[in-house]
Amino acid sequence: MTPLEILAIGILFAGLGFFVAGTVGMLRFPDVFSRLHALTKADNLGLALIALGTALLTADTSVTLKLMLIWFFVVLASATSGHLIARHALRSGQGS
């Protein structure tokens, strides 16, 4: 294995760690809003690391660009849906 591959695999595992932490947070945190913290923040960072690790393993620029697009759209969708869920929960009185 080249040093680059070792670095990439390390980054991939770090990304996995954040996904695990986000999922554990979703299971352990007490309410809707706290769970959203776990899902939006930990998973975004996890996905960024996985995209970065995968990008290091490919020499193909178009694959790298696609990975960046995937990350961008997932972050956009997660921020938007997270905000919608929070707003709905707040209005339906689960906020207290």
Here the tokens at position 38 are 């776990």
Residue placing its CB nearer to other proteins in the complex, 6 or 79:
79
Residues 6+ apart with CB under 8 A from 10: 53
- Which position among 7, 9, 16, 41 is part of the footprint of other proteins (CB under 8 A)? 41
Q: Which is nearer to other proteins, 8 or 18 (CB)?
A: 18
Report how far residue 70's alpha carbon sits from residue 54's, in angstroms, rounded to the nearest whole number: 12
Alpha-carbon distance of 36 to 79, in angstroms, equals 10
Q: Which residues contact 3 (CB under 8 A, 6 or more apart)?
A: none
Closer to other proteins by Cβ: residue 2 or 62: 62
Whose Cβ is closer to other proteins: residue 6's or residue 69's?
69
Residues making up the chain, counted from first to last: 96
Question: Could you say whether residue 45 binds other proteins (CB under 8 A)?
Answer: yes
Catalog residues that contact other proteins under the rule CB under 8 A.
17-18, 21-22, 24-25, 28-31, 33-34, 36-38, 40-42, 44-46, 48, 62, 65-66, 69, 79, 82-83, 86-87, 89-91, 95
